[in-house]
């Protein structure tokens, strides 16, 4: 039955001149059929470059918003509108403005794992891959970092000359990965390298051989001479890691690394979205323009 659904999806993608995006944490079968897989912002950037009229975003709500921000002329579909992000929900634009009022003139660096409205009230955005570069680009010695305290504290270690005001948000999935779980995996697999995401708690990141974004994990595991890795991020990443590195072994650091929101989207949901061209995610123009400004300022920073 799944092969029939996949065929129907491909036919409808062609019919609607649509592109199918899947985040690295999606179900295996959804990643398998996607036109483009990757992390949230990279997917939106790539989708904006295509001539597609419709973007089908297999991810969570803030990701579809990012696609709508960068592709205002395209229709953005989110097959599961109930797929949210608890960390993104931990800060609102009103709360952020209250904090800004307490620290006038202090720039706000906002992680892309946030709502369009929060981005619109920020000075510059960042990803887990470029957060350090974004912070170093600021001339100010003090900054507000929203919403992920763990990513912020990981970055702060490398820029001791700057003062951080942290928003106390976090990713529940990464927070569930404990020191004891990681140490147990290290005992069971003493020859494996431990890699984790900077959304992990600081005490967990301290155990890692390498800390990086999901895209960084793909690069690191592909180029590393090591053949065995303990992976400290959401379980969905294992699909592509194993696909791209057939001679290497990947062990999930903890069974708790499972995001229920990322696993909501099924092939049936994708098919229904293409059949109905709903649900549509859009961003009001005033918010879209301001949020795009924060993203553009990040994208203007020269790459290495």
Classify residue 103: in a domain, yes or no. yes
**From the first residue on, what is the mean pLDDT of each consecutive set of 10 residues in the chain (304 residues)?**
92 98 97 94 89 96 96 96 97 98 97 97 96 97 98 98 98 97 98 98 98 95 97 97 97 97 98 98 98 95 78
Classify residue 257: in a domain, yes or no. no
User: Based on the domain organization, do 201 and 214 belong to the same domain?
Assistant: yes
CA 228 to each of CA 11, 16, 238, 247, 264: distance values in angstroms, whole numbers, following the listed order: 39, 42, 13, 9, 30
User: Based on the domain organization, do 115 and 181 belong to the same domain?
Assistant: no
User: Based on the domain organization, do 155 and 17 belong to the same domain?
Assistant: no
User: Based on the domain organization, do 167 and 184 belong to the same domain?
Assistant: no
Token pair of 10 as six digits: 């491909």
Nearest to 129 by CA among 283, 233, 27, 203: 233
User: Based on the domain organization, do 72 and 7 belong to the same domain?
Assistant: yes
User: Based on the domain organization, do 24 and 68 belong to the same domain?
Assistant: yes
Classify residue 62: in a domain, yes or no. yes
Classify residue 132: in a domain, yes or no. yes
- Residue 167 has, within 13 A of its CA and on its CB side, a CA count of 28
CATH number for the domain harbouring residue 159:
3.40.50.10800
SS3 of the chain: the string is: CHHHHHHHHHHHHHHCCEEEEEECCCCHHHHHHCCEEECHHHHHHHHHHCCCCEEEEECCHHHHHHHHHHCCCCEEECCCCCCCCCCHHHCCHHHHHHHHHHCCCCCEEEECCCCHHHHHCCCEEECCCCHHHHHHHCCCCEEEEECEHHHHHHHHCCCCCCEEEECCECCHHHHCCCHHHHHHHHHHCCCCEEEECCCCCHHHHCCCCEECCHHHHHHHHHHCCCCEEEEECCHHHHHHHHHHCCCCEEEECCCCCCCCCCCCCCHHHHHHHHHHCCCECCCCHHHHHHHHHHHHHHHCCCCC
**C-alpha span between 263 and 258 (Å, rounded):** 8
Classify residue 304: in a domain, yes or no. no
User: Based on the domain organization, do 295 and 164 belong to the same domain?
Assistant: yes
Range of the domain at 110: 88-172+289-299
User: Based on the domain organization, do 62 and 93 belong to the same domain?
Assistant: no
Question: What pLDDT is attached to residue 304?
Answer: 64
User: Based on the domain organization, do 153 and 201 belong to the same domain?
Assistant: no
User: Based on the domain organization, do 10 and 33 belong to the same domain?
Assistant: yes
Q: What is the pTM of this model?
A: 0.94
Classify residue 126: in a domain, yes or no. yes
Q: What are phi and psi of 228, to 5 degrees?
A: -140, 130
User: Based on the domain organization, do 32 and 159 belong to the same domain?
Assistant: no
User: Based on the domain organization, do 237 and 98 belong to the same domain?
Assistant: no
Say how many domains are in the chain: 3
**C-alpha span between 286 and 110 (Å, rounded):** 18
Nearest to 38 by CA among 15, 61, 22, 62: 22
């Amino acid at each position: 039955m799944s092969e029939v659904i996949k065929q129907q999806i491909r036919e409808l993608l062609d019919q609607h001149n649509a592109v199918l995006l899947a985040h690295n944490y999606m179900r295996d079968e959804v990643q398998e059929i996607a036109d483009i897989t990757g992390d949230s912002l990279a997917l939106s950037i790539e989708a904006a470059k295509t001539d597609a009229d419709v973007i089908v975003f297999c991810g969570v709500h803030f990701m579809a918003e990012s696609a709508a921000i960068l592709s205002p002329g395209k229709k953005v579909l989110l097959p599961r509108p109930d797929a949210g992000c608890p960390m993104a929900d931990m800060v609102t634009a009103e709360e952020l403005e209250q904090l800004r009022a307490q620290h006038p003139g202090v720039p706000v660096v906002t992680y892309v794992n946030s709502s369009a409205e929060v981005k619109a009230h920020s000075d510059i955005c960042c990803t887990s891959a470029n957060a350090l570069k974004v912070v170093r680009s600021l001339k100010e010695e003090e900054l507000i970092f929203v919403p992920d305290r763990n990513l912020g504290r990981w970055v702060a270690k490398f820029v001791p000359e700057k003062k951080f005001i942290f928003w106390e948000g976090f990713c529940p999935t990464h927070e569930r990965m404990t020191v004891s779980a990681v140490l147990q995996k290290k005992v069971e697999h003493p020859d494996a390298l431990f890699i984790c995401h900077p959304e992990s708690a600081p005490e967990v990141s301290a155990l890692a051989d390498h800390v990086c974004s999901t895209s960084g994990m793909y690069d690191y595991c592909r180029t590393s001479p090591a053949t065995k890795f303990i992976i400290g991020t959401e379980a969905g990443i294992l699909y592509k890691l194993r696909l791209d590195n057939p001679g290497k072994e990947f062990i999930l650091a903890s069974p708790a690394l499972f995001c229920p929101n990322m696993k909501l989207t099924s092939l049936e949901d994708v098919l229904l979205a293409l059949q109905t061209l709903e649900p549509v995610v859009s961003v009001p123009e005033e918010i879209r323009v301001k949020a795009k400004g924060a993203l553009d300022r990040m994208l203007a920073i020269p790459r290495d």
